[in-house]
Chain A
Amino acid sequence: MQSNLEYDLQCSAVKKHFGSVRAVDDVSLDIPKGSFFSILGPSGCGKTTLMRMIAGFESPDSGDIRIKGKSVVATPPNRRNVKMVFQHLALFPMMNVYENIAYGLRCNGVSKSDIRLKVHDVLERISLPDVASREITQLSGGQKQRIAIARCMVLDPDVLLLDEPLGALDLKLREAMKIELKLLQHQFDTTFVYITHDQSEALVMSDNVAIMNEGKFVQTGTPQELYHNPAEAFVAGFVGDNNRWSGKVKTVTNGIITTETKAGLTIKGSARGDVKPDVGGVVSIFVRPEFIAAKVSAKKSGKSNANNNTIDGLVDSILFNGANSRVLVRDKVGELIEADVILTGGTDDLKPNDPVRLDWSPDQTMCFVG
C-alpha cells in the first residue's frame, strides 16, 4: 500500500492475538484527512484493541500503522500525535479544568503565557469559557465530555480517537452530544476515529463507518451504503432494524428471488452480497420496517405493484414513539412483522386487531446466502 499524505491514519494488515484469541485480524483502513470515521461492532469484536494499538498502548503482532504517512509502530504512546478520549474520559480528578487542559501543553514544554492563551482559546471553542477554575467533580456529564475533548484538541492532534465516550451519558444528553461531536469535528477540522457499539451514534456522526466483527472489518462505507447496501448478512442484521427470516430459494427470475420461509410465507427478494443464491439454497432475508407499508385491508386506496410482497394480517399492537411509531402485525402463520406507520392521532390510525395488508417491494428485500 502506498503511504499517502492525504490520509491521516492508515493501518495495513494489522494483527493482534491474545493467546489463541484473534482480537484484531488483518485489519486495513485508510482514513482521509479531516473526516469522521467510526468503527462499529458488537462488544468483544476487537475495536478497542485496534484503537489501543493506534494510540500505542498495545503493539500489533504484524502489520503497520501510519499517521500522516509515517509508521508509528515503534513510537511510544507519548510521542504519537494521536490523542484519545477514554471511555470514562479519564479526566485527572486531582487537577481542575485548567490544569487538565494544560497538562499536555506542559508536557510539550509550551511556555506559561502560551498555555494560558491556548487553554482559554480551546475553552472558548467548546463554549465553556468560564469553567477553567472548576474542579472536575463540579462539572456535568456533558461538560466533562467537552473538557475531555478540549484536553486533546488543545494539543492539535493529527487524529483524535474516541472510545465510546457517550456510553456513560443519559439518553437525552447522548442525543445532544452526537450532534455536538459532529459540530466539534467540523470546527476543529481534525480526523476523528470513533469507536462504538451503538449504530445510531455511528450512523449519525460519521462520514465513513467500518463494521467490525470477530476481529475483522466486514464492510467499510458511508452510513447510507451500509444501511441500504450491506455486503453481508451480519451488516444487514447489525445496522438498522429488520424483519428477519430464513428461507429456501424456489425460483430465480430476472434478479428476483422467490423464497419460502420455514413457516410457509412466500417472499420475493433481491440477492445481495457477493455470492448469488442458487435454487434450493438457504438465504437470510432482511426487510427494514420503514419499507413495509401497512394499510387497512378494507380500503383499496394504494395501487400495489403486482411484483410486490403482500401479506395480510391483524394488527397485534401499536408501538407508539412519535414519528418513529411502529405497528406489529401478526401474519397468517403467526409471526410478528414490524412496519413503520405514521400515527396522526386521528380516526384513521391503525388500532389493534385491525385487518391490515403489508406491502413492500422485492428490491427492499435483502437476501443473503446462508
Chain B
Amino acid sequence: MRATDIKRLSLYLLFAPFALWILLLILLPHAGMMYISLREKVAPRVYEFGFENYINFFNEPIYWNTLIRTGSMSLLVTFLALLLGFPIAYYIAKIAGNRSRGALFLMCLIPLWVSDLIRAFGWILLLRETGVISSSLQWVGLIGTPIEFLYNDAAVIMGLVYTVILFMIVPLVSTLDGMDKSLIEAGYNLGGNGPTVLRRIIIPYAMPGIVAGCIVVFMLTAGSYLTPILLGGKNSSWFTEQIYDQFITRYNWESGAAFGFLLLAFTSIAVWLGLKLSGQTLNSTVADT
C-alpha cells in the first residue's frame, strides 16, 4: 500500500466515529422527526402530507404563548447568568492569583458532579413550604405562617441560572485569560475611568466569550426540562413540557415533532439575531473558545 493510501485510510478511520455520530444520532433522528412532523392524521392509521401540525401551533395561542414565554424567560436567564458570571470570570481570570485560580475554577465545576435532578431536589429542600428557608424565617420570627417559595417564575429562573452559569463562566474566563493586563492599564493610562475601561476595552475584548457563553446558556435554558418542571411545577408552562405532553401524554407524535422543530427554529433565529446584533460570527465565538 502506498503512503498516501495509508494516510487516507487513517483519515477515514479517524473521521468515522464523528461521521457516524452526526449521521446516526443527529441527522437520521431529525430527518425522521421532520418526516413525522409533516404527516397529517386524517383517520386512524391514515396519514397525508401537509403542514397541519405547524398551522395548529399558530392557531392555538396557548402553544405559541408558551414558546414566547420560554424564549423570554430564557433570555432573562441568559442575561442574569452573564451579569453574575462576568464579575466571577473576571475575578478568576484577571484578579485571582495563579494558585487560587485553579481552586476557584474547581469550585465552579463542583456542582456539575451532581446530576441536574439531585440539584433540583436540593432547591426543593430549600424552597418548599416546610423547607429550610421557610422554617428558618419562621424560627427567626420574620413570618408567622410557612411560605411556599417553590412553583413560581422566580424559583424557575433562579434554578436555571444556577444550573447554567458555569457554561457562561468557562468561555468568559478563557477569553479574559487571553487578555493582556497591560490593555487595561493602557486604558487607564490614556485617561479612561473604570466604567470607560470596562465599556470600551474589557467588554469589546471579551465579546467573543460573552456571545459564546450566551449562545450556550440560551440553548441549554430553552431546551431544559427538569429544572422548570421540578421548580415551577404545573405553572411553569415551559415549551419542552408541551413537547413532552404531545409525545407522551397525548401520544400525538406528529404534533410533538412539529413543536420540536419549532423550538429549534426559534432558538436558531434568536441566536442568529444575537450574533447579528453583537456583530460576531459563529466562527469568532463558539469556535474560538
Find residues 160-218 in chain B having any chain A CB closer than 8 Å to their own CB: 180, 182-183, 185-193, 196, 200-201, 204-205, 207
- Chain B residue with minimal CB distance to A99? B200
Knowing A94-B204, A94-B205, A107-B196 are in contact, say whether A155-B191 is a contact too (CB < 8 A).
yes
CB pair A92–B183 under 8 Å, yes or no, is yes
CB pair B192–A103 under 8 Å, yes or no, is yes
Most buried by A among B182, B189, B196: B189
When chains A and B are docked, how far (Å) is the Cα of A55 from the Cα of B193? 15
Chain A residues positioned under 8 Å from B180 (CB to CB): 88, 90
Knowing A107-B190, A108-B191, A152-B190 are in contact, say whether A92-B182 is a contact too (CB < 8 A).
no
CB pair B185–A78 under 8 Å, yes or no, is no
Determine whether A57 belongs to the interface, using a CB cutoff of 8 Å to chain B. Answer: yes
Chain B residues positioned under 8 Å from A84 (CB to CB): 185-186, 189
When chains A and B are docked, how far (Å) is the Cα of A86 from the Cα of B181? 11
Determine whether A295 belongs to the interface, using a CB cutoff of 8 Å to chain B. Answer: no
Chain B residues positioned under 8 Å from A95 (CB to CB): 204
Knowing A78-B193, A103-B200 are in contact, say whether A90-B188 is a contact too (CB < 8 A).
no
CB pair B189–A107 under 8 Å, yes or no, is no
Determine whether A93 belongs to the interface, using a CB cutoff of 8 Å to chain B. Answer: yes
Question: B25-37 CB contact bits vs A (8 Å, 1 = yes)?
Answer: 0000000000000
Determine whether A284 belongs to the interface, using a CB cutoff of 8 Å to chain B. Answer: no
Determine whether A87 belongs to the interface, using a CB cutoff of 8 Å to chain B. Answer: yes
Chain A residues positioned under 8 Å from B189 (CB to CB): 55-56, 77-78, 82-84
- The bracket for how many chain A residues form the interface is 20 to 34
Q: Which of B185, B190, B193, B204 contacts A104 (CB 8 A)?
A: B190
- Chain B residue with minimal CB distance to A79? B191
Find residues 2-17 in chain A having any chain B CB closer than 8 Å to their own CB: none
Chain B residues positioned under 8 Å from A87 (CB to CB): 182
Chain B residues positioned under 8 Å from A108 (CB to CB): 191
Knowing A90-B180, A94-B204 are in contact, say whether A57-B190 is a contact too (CB < 8 A).
no
Find residues 27-86 in chain A having any chain B CB closer than 8 Å to their own CB: 55-57, 76-78, 82-84, 86
When chains A and B are docked, how far (Å) is the Cα of A87 from the Cα of B180? 11
CB pair B192–A107 under 8 Å, yes or no, is yes
Determine whether A151 belongs to the interface, using a CB cutoff of 8 Å to chain B. Answer: yes
CB pair A104–B191 under 8 Å, yes or no, is yes
Chain B residues positioned under 8 Å from A57 (CB to CB): 185, 188
CB pair A78–B183 under 8 Å, yes or no, is no
When chains A and B are docked, how far (Å) is the Cα of A82 from the Cα of B188? 11
CB pair B188–A77 under 8 Å, yes or no, is yes
When chains A and B are docked, how far (Å) is the Cα of A86 from the Cα of B189? 10
Q: Which of A86, A92, A155 contacts B201 (CB 8 A)?
A: A92
- Chain B residue with minimal CB distance to A151? B190
Find residues 97-120 in chain A having any chain B CB closer than 8 Å to their own CB: 103-104, 107-108
When chains A and B are docked, how far (Å) is the Cα of A196 from the Cα of B190? 22
- Chain A residue with minimal CB distance to B181? A90
Question: B140-167 CB contact bits vs A (8 Å, 1 = yes)?
Answer: 0000000000000000000000000000
When chains A and B are docked, how far (Å) is the Cα of A107 from the Cα of B183? 15
Chain B residues positioned under 8 Å from A104 (CB to CB): 190-192
CB pair A86–B186 under 8 Å, yes or no, is yes
CB pair A93–B191 under 8 Å, yes or no, is no
When chains A and B are docked, how far (Å) is the Cα of A78 from the Cα of B184? 11
Chain A residues positioned under 8 Å from B185 (CB to CB): 55, 57, 77, 84, 86, 90
CB pair A86–B182 under 8 Å, yes or no, is yes
Chain B residues positioned under 8 Å from A76 (CB to CB): 188
Chain A residues positioned under 8 Å from B190 (CB to CB): 78, 83, 103-104, 107, 151-152, 155
- Chain B residue with minimal CB distance to A163? B182
- Chain B residue with minimal CB distance to A109? B191
CB pair A90–B183 under 8 Å, yes or no, is yes
- Chain A residue with minimal CB distance to B193? A78
Chain A residues positioned under 8 Å from B188 (CB to CB): 56-57, 76-78
Chain A residues positioned under 8 Å from B201 (CB to CB): 92, 94
Question: Within the complex, what minimum Cβ distance (angstroms) separates A122 from chain B?
Answer: 13
Q: Which of A83, A88, A94, A151 contacts B182 (CB 8 A)?
A: A88
Chain B residues positioned under 8 Å from A56 (CB to CB): 188-189
Chain A residues positioned under 8 Å from B204 (CB to CB): 92, 94-95
- Chain A residue with minimal CB distance to B197? A78
Question: Within the complex, what minimum Cβ distance (angstroms) separates B222 from chain A?
Answer: 29
CB pair B182–A78 under 8 Å, yes or no, is no
Chain A residues positioned under 8 Å from B207 (CB to CB): 94
Chain B residues positioned under 8 Å from A155 (CB to CB): 190-191
Chain B residues positioned under 8 Å from A90 (CB to CB): 180, 182-183, 185-186
Most buried by A among B183, B186, B205: B186
Q: Which of A55, A78, A86, A88 contacts B191 (CB 8 A)?
A: A78
When chains A and B are docked, how far (Å) is the Cα of A322 from the Cα of B156? 78
When chains A and B are docked, how far (Å) is the Cα of A103 from the Cα of B183? 12
- Chain A residue with minimal CB distance to B205? A94
When chains A and B are docked, how far (Å) is the Cα of A83 from the Cα of B191? 9
When chains A and B are docked, how far (Å) is the Cα of A56 from the Cα of B192? 13
Question: Within the complex, what minimum Cβ distance (angstroms) separates A309 from chain B?
Answer: 50
When chains A and B are docked, how far (Å) is the Cα of A220 from the Cα of B33? 81
Question: Within the complex, what minimum Cβ distance (angstroms) separates B211 from chain A?
Answer: 13
Chain A residues positioned under 8 Å from B192 (CB to CB): 78, 103-104, 107
A–B complex contacts, Cβ < 8 Å, 17 sampled: A55-B185, A78-B189, A83-B190, A84-B185, A84-B186, A87-B182, A88-B180, A90-B180, A90-B185, A92-B201, A93-B205, A94-B201, A95-B204, A103-B187, A104-B190, A107-B196, A155-B191
Q: Sorted from nearest, which 4 A-B pairs have the closest CB atoms?
A: A104-B190, A107-B191, A90-B186, A90-B182
The interface of chain A, by Cβ under 8 A from chain B, is 55-57, 76-78, 82-84, 86-88, 90, 92-95, 103-104, 107-108, 151-152, 155
Besides A90-B183, A94-B205, A104-B190, 15 other CB < 8 A contacts?
A: A55-B185, A82-B189, A83-B190, A84-B186, A88-B180, A90-B186, A92-B186, A92-B187, A92-B204, A95-B204, A103-B187, A104-B192, A107-B190, A107-B193, A151-B190
